[in-house]
Structure 1
């Protein structure tokens, strides 16, 4: 009995234990059911999210389309960058040529300034020489006037002396005529006496002495006596005037004096003639100097006109060159602004994608985005985008092999080499977004940041509208498959 009681108690305890275990497992089953229900719910939610994500992406081929669109966008941007770099290089080359032209113009201006200073110095010297010539001409005019005045004075004096000499000569002629008549009278008288008596030489000498005394006495008497004839009186008065004017009483001395006066008059006449010739020569010299002055004035005016014309031409050329240089400088600055904005955006995307690692820095360097390493930045960003797509595919657990194939390449990724393809003139693009991109690509002028943003938004809106149309077309088959 005791064993039976023990067995019963053991069985009872086993039953209780089993009941407890049953309750526990029942609770666990309930918990697992709830967990399964939660998992089913989460699975449905995940499927709904996957469906929504696929719907947003545009179906199984959306990733491929997105990749193709991104590749086209990258290609278009590369082409734009290539064109911008070509324009930038062309602008730099043209700017270099303009700088060379400006340097040449500056050197020409220095040479022109030197020539201008030389011409100005020569002009000052010519003006000084002209002033000296004018001064010499003034002095020559003054000398000519003085010579003319002196000549007039000498001529007047010579005329007066000539008239006085002629008057005296006439008086002297009358006196000589009177003396000759007296001598003839005395000869006639002596002939009458000689017929009666022959004269001895001593008597003749004595008679000559007496005759001289008689002539002198007759002259003296002609002066003193008022009752003498008018002719004798006029001779006496003329002789007295000659004596008072010359202070010479002897007739021979008077003749010598008249001869000397005539020689002096002739000498003065020659002197006046020489003065006239000198005046004529000075007048010719003055006329030559006047012609030279006029010629120098004409040359100065022509030189001034030519110099002003050269200055105006050089100023116009320099102004046009400066305007062109400023225009190309503005274009260059605008291109630099666009390139700087592109570099900043590229560096921002590079950092946001987590590409700033030592391995990449060893490739691109530490100086940031430059013209030399910008292609490496594009390559690294594209490679990082592919890696992000792979991680995203692994995270959401895509079961559709086609979607996986569209997102991730099946072959191992080879080392990426970035090749810049030049713009194609034969490529045909069917989509509206590609046409819009080509229209933007055809623009020559550089765009500002705001214009780029507006064009990007327009392109994205067109792309989203196209994807929505594709999603609506594929909506029904996708829902049936889900």
Structure 2
């Protein structure tokens, strides 16, 4: 909206300036024609001065010419007043241009601040990404360690189960052998004679047969124990069993330690999983926050870029208008002061003030001349018409040209 208003005002000012230039050129041409007519009239007056009564005939024409000149001077005064108004309007435009330049600087500063904030947010995102990669690496390492520990525990547990089964078999055979030996020792003790000796002898025979069978079985078991352990002495076999039991206890303690380590590793893995979940949640929250901040920054950056583009367009349009005004002031300055001065944006105010002073001086001079001509009473017709003489006519023409 501001650019459209400025464009309309600029177009209006340019049209008014063109109209004023046309009027000034027309008035200048008219003044030149009047100067030529005045010279012709003066020549005629010179000729008619010799003829009696010639001045009285031309007096009415001269008064009409004076009225015409006064009307032209009044128009020139109106044109200068309008020119002053245009200069005042140019001052307002200068203020608007300065304000727009300040807004442009503010937009550039805001853009740099947004770029810095975006760079800082990108660095934060890179740091969070590096932390996430480290957390995933630690998680993978912990999972690999837990898998290795599980494999080791499974291997140790399988080995322990196999060893336990072997030891149970050996312990069962040892217990059966021990019970068999105790029975045999009890049978060797002499028995008392009683009435039931026969029955007991028969039972003993059956038991002896059963014992023989059991002995064969235990001998087979003993042979298997000897084959497994490699010892024939029962004391050595019991010592081997004791050593095996101690080893089993050590293995059980080692397995318990492994179970404890496994539980500790499980707790650690659970803690790591919880920490990883917390980090992932925090990362998601931060990612959402950063995304929202980036969207806000992008929207603000688009607004500021659009505002900067509009300000640059306005600045270019205003620069063109300023260049045109500078050239117009340069031409006007050359025409009024007859001095070649390069008008720049630094000395444009000084040049405008000089032009205003020159125009005001010319207007004052023209008004003074008119007042003097109006105040002088025509005591003598020849003296009253002395303005039409060649010397005075050249002075008046020079003044009119200066005022133009």
Q: State the TM-score bracket (shorter-chain normalisation).
A: 0.5 to 0.7
Q: Would the aligned equivalents of 1:178 and 1:232 in 2 still touch at CA under 8 Å?
A: no
Which residue in the other structure is 2:17 paired with?
Answer: none
Partner of 2:225: helix, strand, or coil? helix
1:426-465 superposed matches below 5 A:
none
Distance 2:94 2:369 in 1: 36
SS in structure 1 of the partner of residue 348 of structure 2:
coil
Question: Which residue number in structure 2 is paired with residue 18 of structure 1?
Answer: none
Tell me the CA shift for residue 131 of structure 1. 0.7
Q: Which has the higher contact order (CA 8 A, sep 6+)?
A: 2
- Structure 1 residue 51: Cα displacement: 4.4
- Measured on the aligned residues, the alpha-carbon RMSD in Å equals 4.3
User: Paired residue for 2:338?
Assistant: 356
Equivalent residue of 1:371, what SS? helix
1:34-45 paired onto structure 2 within 5 Å:
none
1:264-303 → structure 2 map (5 Å cutoff): 264-303=247-286
Asked if the contact 2:107–2:308 (Cα under 8 Å) also holds between the matched residues in 1, the reply is: yes
Paired position in structure 1 for 2:230: 247
Aligned to 2:356: 378
- 2:95 equivalent in structure 1: 86
Unaligned runs of 5+ in 2: 1-46, 195-207, 379-383, 388-398, 400-404
Compared with structure 1, are the counterparts of its residues 97 and 245 closer, same or farther at alpha carbon in structure 2 (3 Å cutoff)? closer
SS at structure 1 position matched to 2:349:
coil
**Structure 1 contact 133–289 (Cα < 8 Å) conserved:** yes
Higher fraction of helix: 2
The residue correspondences of 1:51-450 to structure 2 (distance < 5 A) are 51=64, 54=67, 57=68, 62-63=71-72, 65-103=74-112, 105=113, 109-110=115-116, 112-114=118-120, 116-117=122-123, 119-121=125-127, 123-162=129-168, 164-184=169-189, 187-188=190-191, 229-353=212-336, 355-357=337-339, 367=343, 370-384=348-362
Q: Which has the larger radius of gyration?
A: 1
Residues 102 and 116 of structure 1: CA distance in aligned 2, closer, same or farther (over 3 Å): closer
CA displacement at 1:386 relative to structure 2:
6.2
Give CA-to-partner distance per residue, 1:190-218, whole Å, 9 cap, x none: x99xxxxxxxxxxxxxxxxxxxxxxxxxx
Cα gap change, 1:325 to 1:236, in 2 (>3 Å): closer
Q: Distance in 1 between matches of 2:210 and 2:94?
A: 141
Q: 1:243 to 1:159 in 2, by over 3 A?
A: closer
Asked if the contact 1:91/1:332 (under 8 Å) is kept, the reply is yes
Contact 2:343 2:351 in 1 (8 A): no
- Distance change >3 Å, CA 45–CA 138, structure 1 → 2: farther
| CA distance, structure 1, for counterparts of residue 244 and residue 252 of structure 2 | 12
C-alpha distance in 2 between matches for 1:76 and 1:229 = 146
CA contact (8 A) 2:135 2:276 kept: no
How many residues of Structure 1 are paired with residues of Structure 2 in the alignment? 316
Tell me how far 1:168 sits from its aligned partner.
0.8
Q: State the match for 1:423 in structure 2.
A: none
- SS of the residue aligned with 1:147? helix
Cα 1:312–1:226 change in 2 (3 A) is: same
